[in-house]
Amino acid sequence: MSLIGAAVCFHCQRELEGSPFQVAFHTATDDVSLPLCRTCQELRQGGQLPVELLLQQWLYALGAREELDPFQDTLVTLVCLGCGAQLGNLSTVAVGAAQLMFADSRRMPDGSTVVPCAGCRRSNVLESRFGQLVAVRLW
C-alpha cells in the first residue's frame, strides 16, 4: 500500500500528532492511503473537505493534471468518518440500479443514505459519487 507523507497530513501538511484518520482508495495499479490530521478530518466530518478534492490533490501531486480522470477506475474505501472503521465491503452502485442499502441504513429525503457505524454509533451520510457510495459527512 502506498502511504503518502506518513508524518504529515496529506491535505494541509500539518503534523499528524497521532491522528488515525486517512482516505484510502484503490486504482488499477495501486492502493493509496492519504493520512489526514484531526483538523482536516473534522472538515470531512462536516462535509467541507470532499473526497473529490483529495483525489484531485493527489493527482496534482503526481503531476497528472489534465490527462487523468480522478474518478475513473478509482474505488474509495467506505469508512466511518467518526472513527475510521470500515462501514461495508460492497459500495459500488451499478448504473441504473438502486443504491446498496445496509441493514440499519435510512434513506433521507435528499436521496442520501444515513448509516450508523457499528463501532462508534455515529451516523455517516453516504452519497453516490462517481458510481459508488462515499461517506460525505456525519449527521
Domain boundary residue, one of 77, 97, 131: 77
What whole-number distance in Å separates Cα of residue 9 and Cα of residue 42? Answer: 13
Same domain, 2 and 54: yes
Task: Please list, in sequence order, all residues whose beta carbon lies within 8 angstroms of the beta carbon of residue 119, skipping any fewer than 6 positions away.
Answer: 80, 83, 85
Same domain, 10 and 68: yes
What whole-number distance in Å separates Cα of residue 64 and Cα of residue 81? Answer: 28
Mean pLDDT of all residues belonging to the chain = 82
List the strands of the sheet with 132-138, edge to edge. 106-107, 113-116, 123-129, 132-138
Same domain, 29 and 90: no
This prediction's pTM: 0.78
What whole-number distance in Å separates Cα of residue 88 and Cα of residue 128? Answer: 15
What 3-state class would DSSP assign to 69? coil
Domain boundary residue, one of 27, 62, 77: 77
Same domain, 59 and 40: yes
Same domain, 65 and 92: no
**Mean pLDDT for the stretch of residues 78-106:** 66
Highest-pLDDT range among 4-8, 58-62, 86-90, 121-125:
121-125
What is the tally of structural domains in the chain?
2
What whole-number distance in Å separates Cα of residue 89 and Cα of residue 42? Answer: 24
Beta carbons of 20 and 84 less than 8 angstroms apart: yes
Same domain, 12 and 70: yes
**What pLDDT was estimated at residue 1?**
41
**Mean pLDDT for the stretch of residues 103-132:** 84
Task: Tell me the residue range of the domain where 21 lies.
Answer: 1-77
Same domain, 101 and 73: no
